[in-house]
Amino acid sequence: MKLQGITALITGAASGLGAATAKALTAEGAEVLGLDLASSIEKATQVEGVTLVAADVTSEEEVSAAIEGYEGAPLRVVVNCAGIAPAELTVSPRGAHSLDLFRKTIDINLVGTFNVLRLGALAMSKTEPLEHGQRGVVVNTASVAAYEGQIGQAAYAASKAGVVGLTITAARDLARLGIRVNTIAPGIVDTPMLAGLPERVTDALAESVPFPHRLAQPAEYAQLAKMIIEHDYLNGETIRMDGAIRMAPK
């Protein structure tokens, strides 16, 4: 899939992984329709070629309106980066894990991913097929927590494991339409989610990575997303981007 002259829909595009991916794809000639919460867009740096629209990924109406209201090149790419990462023990001295928090995490990370995937794929299905019948590609974001969730990550790990499980099924569902589906499972990435941690904590996290001994950068996620989009034979795969880390219980 060539990026020149197409539109990429990116969620969580105002910061972190989404912003880095938007920058990388526009550098290759793509137009980017970026979805994020209004509060995040207000703090975002404007990037040429990126149109930021306020939309909740869990809302069918808001995502549909953003896609249908965009007047630009054909939609060929979806990159799902929006997500949250709460931490709470299943049972703690305060009581049982909040069911509302568990539902919210699943709703944003898994249901939101599927919502954007299905609506983006619907729009792609209406485009003219390219070489070998290809119409588009979806890149989802899971996490190594899908495989080795740490203490306190019950909600997050379950949501990301759902994204991993969705990958091959969605790829098979959409194959007849010429739409590929792949997922990136990052390890520890230096994003705004880590910004509030003390330096000693982030240093310890970096040291726990076998090699290289550092946190991953959002630009490296963007580099991998770009490669997946351009590599037409990658389909139905979840690719770990983690420096060979295997997370300990805590």
Q: Do residues 18 and 10 make contact, with C-beta atoms less than 8 angstroms apart?
A: yes
Q: How far apart are CA 103 and CA 72, in angstroms?
A: 35
Task: Say if CB 137 and CB 180 are below 8 A apart.
Answer: yes
CA end-to-end span of the chain, whole Å? 40
Residue of 239, 18, 15 lying closest to 144 (CA atoms): 239
Helices (H) and strands (E) in the chain, counts: 9, 9
CA–CA separation, 245 and 208 (whole Å): 7
The single-letter code of the amino acid at 38 is A
* Residues near 46 by beta carbon (within 8 Å), at least 6 away in sequence: 52
156 is catalytic: yes
Question: 70, 156, 221, 233: which is the annotated catalytic residue?
Answer: 156
Distance from C-alpha of 178 to C-alpha of 135, rounded to nearest angstrom? 5
Token digits for 98? 């909040």
Catalytic sites, residue numbers: 156
